[in-house]
Amino acid sequence: MALLRISSPHTHRALGTGAVMRTVVLATLPGLAVLTYFFGVGSLHNVLLASITAMGFEAAVMKLRGRPVWFYLRDCSALVTGVLLGLALPPYCPWWLVVLGSGVAIVLAKQLYGGMGFNPFNPAMVAYVVLLISFPLHMSQWAAPLDIGGQTPGVVQALQQIWLGTSIDGYTAATPLDTVKQNSGLMLNDLYLQDPVLSAGQFVGAGWEWANLAFLVGGAYLLYRRIFTWHAPVAMLASLSIMAFLFYDGGSSTSGGSVLFHLFSGATMLGAFFIVTDPVSSAVSTRGRLIYGAAIGVLIYVIRIWGNYPDGIAFAVLLMNFAAPFIDYYTLPRTYGHKKSERATRKVDQ
């Protein structure tokens, strides 16, 4: 028996940018599948349209900048931006909203700052916020989940709504976060019994808990593949849980909702594993990532409960993107063999 002799090095090469990005896209698929199952083809259409237009904008800007188009398209970073934006946008929103969003993400938030690796803000979140503050009406209409609408809109209906503006009757429903935010006077238990979306689910509301679970699965896969470290997402989920626990107050009418409610509603899991972990716009040191993630979790809760918008992932992430260089500056790891760096704490000798 001849053993196959393999010489060192035995470790595999690190994944290239393109491979990492493709893995990320792969990991969003369970979430996309669940969204499509519960809310119909709207999200799928959003993702496809946003990805195609994002790649188109990327190619156009690369052409304008006189760079090799195919080389930069191949790293798939524009594809990831498109997919994330498509997942974040409400299903069945008009087509121009999606196209405008991917244009803002790629041209304004990414390429104007110098392209891949130079953007201080997460492009998909910049686009989401620009759309949210520009078109609050279109951005606040989320489709009703399968369990309460009876059935999701058909493909033809969906395309008519997206491309021609013929609206589907009564396809929208308030999201669980919205319902709890608007609640005044009902105990949380009564609210759960009364609201159709909340009562149709197990603990968060029909569709939402499954979508978040699916994104959690995708995130776990990425962790397993070591695409990112656990620090930022775990810190974010932990601080969000602590905030939710502190302000739960046993489910009174002013309660902010339970810990599970906050972990599995809105875009929590999508944010934790696909947005917060963005390698370009987040903090990079290990301690920095913990601080960065924890601050995002607190901000999300603050915006959800005391802010004007029902969900606050995008705003929280953008605010902390601002702070990421600052966090990195103060959490610089000690270089082996050197003293701990004393950033801005040491008195400068005159």
CB atoms within 10 A of CB 139: 20
Which of the 8 DSSP states describes residue 112?
G
Closer to other proteins by Cβ: residue 107 or 197: 107
* 130 binds other proteins per the rule CB under 8 A: yes
Binding test (CB under 8 A) with other proteins, winner from 59, 60, 108, 148? 108
* Alpha helices, H only, the chain: 17-39, 42-64, 69-73, 77-88, 95-103, 123-134, 136-139, 146-149, 155-159, 176-182, 188-194, 196-200, 208-224, 231-246, 259-263, 268-270, 286-306, 313-330
Find the shortest distance in angstroms from Cβ 93 to other proteins.
Answer: 11
Per CB under 8 A, the segment of 131-139, 180-188, 200-208, 225-233 that binds other proteins is 131-139
Per CB under 8 A, the segment of 43-51, 135-143, 156-164, 208-216 that binds other proteins is 135-143
* 60 binds other proteins per the rule CB under 8 A: no
Half-sphere exposure (CA, 13 Å, Cβ side) for 33? 11
| Cα 233 to Cα 166: distance, rounded to the nearest angstrom | 40
Closer to other proteins by Cβ: residue 121 or 208: 121
Determine the straight-line distance between the first and last CA of the chain, rounded to whole angstroms: 75
The amino acid occupying position 11 is: T
By CB under 8 A, the count of residues binding other proteins is: 9
Contact (CB, 8 A) for 138 and 93: yes
Binding test (CB under 8 A) with other proteins, winner from 22, 138, 225, 287? 138
* 99 binds other proteins per the rule CB under 8 A: no
Find the shortest distance in angstroms from Cβ 96 to other proteins.
Answer: 9
* 134 binds other proteins per the rule CB under 8 A: yes
* 135 binds other proteins per the rule CB under 8 A: yes
Per CB under 8 A, the segment of 126-134, 229-237, 250-258, 278-286 that binds other proteins is 126-134
Residues 154-193 that bind other proteins (CB under 8 A): none
Q: Is 5 exposed, middle or buried (0-12, 13-18, 19+ CB in 10 A)?
A: exposed
As a residue count, the chain comes to: 350
Contacts with other proteins by CB under 8 A lie at: 100, 108, 130, 133-138
